[in-house]
Amino acid sequence: MPQLSNKAIEMPASPIRKLVPFAEKAKKKGLVVYHLNIGQPDIATPESALNAIRNFDQKVIEYSHSAGFESYRIKLAAKYQKNGIDVKTEDIIITTGGSEALVFALMATCNPGDEVIIPEPFYANYNGFAMMAGVQVVPVISSIETGFALPPIEEIERKITSKTKGIVICNPGNPTGYLYSLDELKQLAEIVKKHDIYLFADEVYREFCYDGASPHSVMNLEGISQNVVMIDSVSKRYSMCGARIGALISKNEGLISSVLKFGQARLSPPTIDQIAAEAALETPDSYFEDVVAEYVERRNIMVDGLNSIDGVFCPKPRGAFYCIAKFPVDDAEKFCQWLLESFSHEGQTVMMAPANGFYATPGAGKQEARIAYVLNQEALKKAVICLREALKIYPGRI
């Protein structure tokens, strides 16, 4: 039998989806499974986007420009400018989801064997993107005790070698919900400038900031405009996860030109999805006001509920719609599987994502799980009750 590539063998499985077979079996047994494992919001997609799809009347679904429709890029740039981010149309390349944007960014800036530093825990698929690009992930661990604040800048700088090409951050963060302060971003800017490396910033959750907090885009950091690459997406902003439209934004003309070549190699981002994404830009501010208010309520139900359970600790995030909780269990992955295989409360159970898959450091996050509070408030209340009851009888409780 022909051999697979090392890359195929070493490509990590998603910790977000790895327990799906157990969830499917639980459902076949008649259980209600509260899916807290995946960031699929139940928030309605804006009508403007849905109407654009319904009203599509072209006789041919054509390729778009490899950089994305110009009309979309012009309007997207205007949207950024309205939000205080000085971006021009030519700074933007539309991609097939934010995932492709980061893969293109790594491929355009790194050679095989180069390294990128990422504060952990981090979005698990960054491992896969790095693997695809032949890049090594160098983790710098952050602590649940600090709410997953940026690790001390000295620890990050100690990781920089001749192979380091950049630092990757997600702000607000997936999986932690942590929102980096302007001071933390300025610290990163200083070492990026000092070592002349890239700063890749995944800002797809920018609209979801709570408790009066405001996001600070890396595009506005002074002195490193040529070093910054911003990753964006419509998936979570407009509850359009299935519309695979993202964007890569940079003022570095050489980088944009190089990324465009990768874009040409895959021909173009999806046509109808871009039409929907362009229409979504018409979404009124009131939509986001309502969505943010809803997520604040959901966060409070979930996080306050978790912290009311004996032995559970969960820092309260100020952004995105994720949190990481530490459970009084021997192994959170075993606990998550047990919830699906062996537990039910009034015909219900919970699915979470074991947090060890969001760390690159072996053994880290063993007692932690990521929770996406994307379900309606009543479902979240019931999920908390399930977890409370489960921990009363879990055989691996410590």
Query: What was the pLDDT predicted at 249?
Result: 98
Place of tokens 């949190």: 323
Query: What was the pLDDT predicted at 15?
Result: 73
CA atoms within 13 A on the CB side of 249: 26
At the second CATH level, the architecture of 6-44+286-393 is Alpha-Beta Complex (3.90)
Residue 4, Cβ density class (10 Å: 0-12 exposed, 13-18 middle, ≥19 buried): exposed
Closest CA to 168 of 206, 209, 125: 125
For CATH 3.40.640.10, list the domain ranges present in the chain.
48-280
Closest CA to 75 of 281, 235, 287, 285: 281
Residue 363 burial (CB count, 10 A): 7
For CATH 3.90.1150.10, list the domain ranges present in the chain.
6-44+286-393
Q: How far is CA 62 from the centre of its chain?
A: 30
What is the model's pTM?
Answer: 0.95
Query: What was the pLDDT predicted at 131?
Result: 93
* Residue 139, both tokens: 């983790």
Distance CA 377, CA 352 (A): 17
CATH of domain 48-280: 3.40.640.10
Query: Average pLDDT per run of 10 along the chain, which is 398 residues long?
Result: 90 81 96 94 95 96 97 98 96 98 98 97 94 96 96 97 98 97 97 98 97 95 97 96 97 98 97 98 95 97 98 98 98 97 98 94 95 96 98 96
Query: What was the pLDDT predicted at 12?
Result: 82
Query: What was the pLDDT predicted at 324?
Result: 98
Closest CA to 15 of 258, 360, 318: 360
Closest CA to 231 of 120, 46, 125, 92: 92
Q: Is residue 203 within 8 Å of residue 215, measured between CB atoms?
A: yes
Query: What was the pLDDT predicted at 10?
Result: 87
